[in-house]
Amino acid sequence: MKAGEAEAVRWYLQGTKDAKTAEKNARAGDFEVSCFLFQQAAEKILKGLLILKGERAGVTHSVLKLVQTCATHAPDFQSLTDAAARLDVLYLPTRYPFALPGGAPYEFFTLAHAQQALDAY
């Protein structure tokens, strides 16, 4: 296995682990954590794919931007832009109270949000 392939696999494996952990958090009622981890899972898996394609994964946390870059290699990725945008909006408000108009993330996010994040992932 080439060095780039090994690095891509590391990103992919961490992404899939994050998704499994997101599912566990949803079952435990930690919906804000679940939503964040689904966003992270998608981000890491896409970065792994870009590394595999010989690209530098970059420092972006935008799933949408990553999907758009992946679409330059495989146009079918363009169909994922709506789902990617839904995941992007979970990046900050699932973790930081300042990103919400009132309350803390654990008070705001629900099972429905976690399910929507899973569906978008």
Q: What is the pLDDT of residues 6-38, one digit of tens each?
A: 999 999 999 999 999 999 999 999 999 999 999
Confidence of residue 1 (pLDDT cuts 50, 70, 90): low
Q: Going by C-beta distance under 8 Å and a sequence separation of 6 or more, which residues neighbour residue 98?
A: none
Q: What pLDDT score does 66 carry?
A: 97
Q: What is the pLDDT of residues 29-73, one digit of tens each?
A: 999 999 999 999 999 999 999 999 999 877 899 999 999 999 999
Chain position carrying tokens 């919906």? 31
Q: How far is CA 70 from CA 18, 60, 107, in A?
A: 20, 13, 35
